[in-house]
């Protein structure tokens, strides 16, 4: 694409005299190739402007910058390169999300499970799907590792372009609050936006719960303000107070789901068991009986959100129910570790107060004896939730064990001391996470449940500036075999 053609997507821009062919767009100096447009991004650690000269030396055909630079290639100056990057990426890759049925999911908890349930439904309907989330990205049957829940706009549009090339019909993505505020999903043409729930998390970044809620609301504003033949839907959790404000903040058609509040899709007659969940599903087409392989009340919400989104996407209700009943769990989400022991070991990603409470309440439904809760809190993250996490572990388990999560640059003992301020009753504090897991498994006996919370699917632990191999599931299985 010629530079002038690409720049037409940005209004009021001064066109350079030269009009080179742009072969790619990059914002990382290590990815510069001949003919590329290099975008200077000012980050927390590095300023891309300092690499502009090097980018030109390595073949960049043009530079997008926030200030004038004396270089021998066209330099296009804009106020905000991150914002412009999203516009240019969307144009360069041919507006790929307009060719996809795009479903976005935001909320504190449940995004990953909900995205996988929706994927299962659409695949049952013989659609080719793409998935972008916390654990990985998928294009059809191909899986790609990912670092962020939501990649930056340049990576994102490239992925959507690849999805279109691979004949993907429907793309399902988790949308983090950080991504919404930072404009990473600008240019994404959503058809359905889902809200799971809102509870305390990321206050190190958003500062207040209202600021956090407003960040989530941006997804629903991205559904647009028109009512043409391409209907847009906001799928909202009627049992969460935040939904009342989202209704006001979006022009899209509203679809609600819930358990306690009147909703378009409701669950009643709930039966929670060790190994599954069943309920009566109330829909615009009447009542259906649903039996899930997933455990817990929180997974009923995930299922309801998925059912509502699929129904809004014109998938037949009978097929939706059939698909969701087949769906199995997601790695690191209430995942059992079985090494032949006579007690249960469960690994879960629960790293917020609400998620931890939900998981422990679910365990209480089937636990016969003791409940061990191994809990930690991440360093360089919202410190105000630490005492809440500890308090919940003490309240809903018989044997809480406080340990390290990803301490990052913080002193692990300082994090544990913060947690200790919320502790009540008896508890153990074992800073080494592997030792904490081992201690619980060595102590547990027939009928007990050991919950290892916080890291879920993660296969690493961040201590200081180093990343170590660490998988709760592998550590637990090793401890079981060593008993």
Tokens coding 322: 């059939």
d(CA 380, CA 335): 27
Tokens coding 136: 């990985």
Burial class (CB in 10 A: 0-12, 13-18, 19+), 269: exposed
- Spatial CB neighbours of 426, under 8 Å, sequence gap ≥ 6: 399, 400
DSSP letter for each residue of 16-70: PS--PBP-EEES-GGG--TTEEEE--B-SS-BGGGGHHHHHHTT-SEEEESS---
d(CA 326, CA 241): 31
Measured N-to-C along each axis, helices 242-249 and 209-221 cross at an angle, to the nearest 10 degrees, of 40
Q: How many CA atoms lie within 13 A of 356 on its CB side?
A: 30
Count other C-beta atoms under 10 Å from residue 215's C-beta: 20
- Closest-CA residue to 362 (of 277, 264, 260): 277
pLDDT averaged over 10-residue windows placed end to end, the chain, 483 residues: 97 94 96 97 89 97 97 96 97 98 95 96 98 93 83 94 98 94 94 92 72 92 88 97 95 97 98 88 97 94 98 98 95 92 95 93 90 97 95 98 97 97 97 98 96 96 96 97 93
Burial class (CB in 10 A: 0-12, 13-18, 19+), 420: middle
Measured N-to-C along each axis, helices 353-366 and 297-312 cross at an angle, to the nearest 10 degrees, of 110
Pairing mode of beta strands 276-283, 286-292: antiparallel
**Core vs surface per residue 112-130: b (16+ CB within 10 A) or e:** bbbbbbbbbbbbbbeebbb
Q: Determine the pLDDT at residue 199.
A: 83
Answer whether 293's CB lies under 8 Å from 328's CB. Answer: yes
Q: Determine the pLDDT at residue 329.
A: 86
Answer whether 134's CB lies under 8 Å from 105's CB. Answer: no
d(CA 308, CA 117): 11
Q: Determine the pLDDT at residue 200.
A: 66
Q: Determine the pLDDT at residue 117.
A: 98
Q: For the chain, which domains are there?
A: 3-92 (3.40.1390.10), 96-326 (3.40.1190.10), 335-482 (3.90.190.20)
User: pTM for the whole thing?
Assistant: 0.89
- Spatial CB neighbours of 258, under 8 Å, sequence gap ≥ 6: 237, 238, 239, 265, 266, 267, 301, 304
d(CA 129, CA 122): 7
Q: Determine the pLDDT at residue 203.
A: 66
Collapse the DSSP code of 456 into the 3-class scheme (helix H, G, I; strand E, B; otherwise coil) and give the result.
coil
Q: Determine the pLDDT at residue 268.
A: 98
């Amino acid at each position: 694409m010629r530079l002038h053609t690409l720049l037409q997507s940005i209004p009021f821009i001064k066109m350079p005299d030269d009009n080179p062919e742009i072969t790619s767009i990059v914002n990382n100096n290590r990815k510069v190739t001949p003919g590329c447009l290099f975008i200077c991004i000012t980050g927390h650690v590095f300023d891309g402007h300092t690499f502009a000269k090097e980018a030109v030396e390595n073949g960049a055909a043009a530079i997008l910058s926030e200030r004038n630079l004396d270089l021998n290639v066209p330099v296009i100056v804009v106020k905000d390169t991150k914002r412009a990057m999203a516009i240019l990426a969307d144009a360069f890759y041919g507006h790929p999300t307009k060719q996809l049925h795009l479903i976005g999911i935001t909320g504190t908890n449940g995004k990953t499970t909900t995205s996988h349930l929706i994927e299962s439904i659409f695949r049952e309907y013989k659609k080719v799907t793409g998935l972008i989330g916390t654990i990985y990205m998928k294009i059809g049957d191909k899986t790609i590792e990912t670092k962020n829940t939501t990649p930056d706009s340049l990576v994102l549009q490239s992925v959507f372009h690849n999805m279109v090339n691979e004949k993907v019909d429907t793309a399902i993505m988790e949308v983090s609050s950080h991504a919404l505020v930072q404009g990473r999903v600008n240019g994404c043409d959503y058809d359905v936006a889902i809200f799971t729930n809102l509870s305390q998390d990321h206050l190190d970044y958003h500062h207040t719960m209202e600021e956090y809620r407003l960040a989530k609301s941006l997804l629903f504003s991205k559904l647009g303000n028109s009512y043409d033949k391409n209907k847009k839907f906001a799928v909202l959790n009627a049992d969460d107070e935040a939904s009342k404000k989202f209704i006001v903040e979006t022009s899209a058609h509203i679809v609600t789901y819930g358990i306690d509040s009147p909703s378009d899709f409701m669950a009643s007659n709930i039966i929670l068991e060790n190994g599954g969940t069943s309920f009566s599903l109330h829909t615009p087409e009447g009542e259906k009986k649903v039996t899930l392989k997933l455990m817990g009340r929180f997974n009923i919400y995930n299922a309801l959100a998925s059912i509502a989104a699929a129904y809004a996407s014109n998938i037949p209700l009978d097929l939706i129910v059939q698909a969701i009943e087949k769906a199995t769990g997601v790695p690191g989400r209430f995942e059992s570790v079985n090494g032949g022991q006579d007690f249960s070991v469960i690994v879960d990603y629960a790293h917020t107060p609400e998620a931890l409470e939900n998981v422990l309440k679910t365990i209480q439904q089937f636990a016969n004896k003791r409940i061990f809760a191994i809990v930690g809190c991440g360093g360089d993250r919202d410190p105000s939730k630490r005492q809440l996490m500890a308090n919940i572990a003490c309240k809903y388990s018989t044997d809480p064990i406080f340990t390290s999560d990803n301490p990052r640059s913080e002193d692990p003992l300082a994090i544990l001391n913060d947690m200790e301020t919320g502790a009540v009753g008896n508890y153990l504090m074992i800073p080494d996470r592997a030792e904490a897991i081992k201690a619980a498994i060595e102590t547990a006996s027939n009928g007990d449940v050991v919950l290892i919370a916080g890291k879920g699917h993660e296969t690493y632990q961040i201590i200081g500036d180093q990343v170590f191999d660490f998988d709760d599931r592998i550590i637990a299985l090793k401890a079981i075999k060593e008993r």
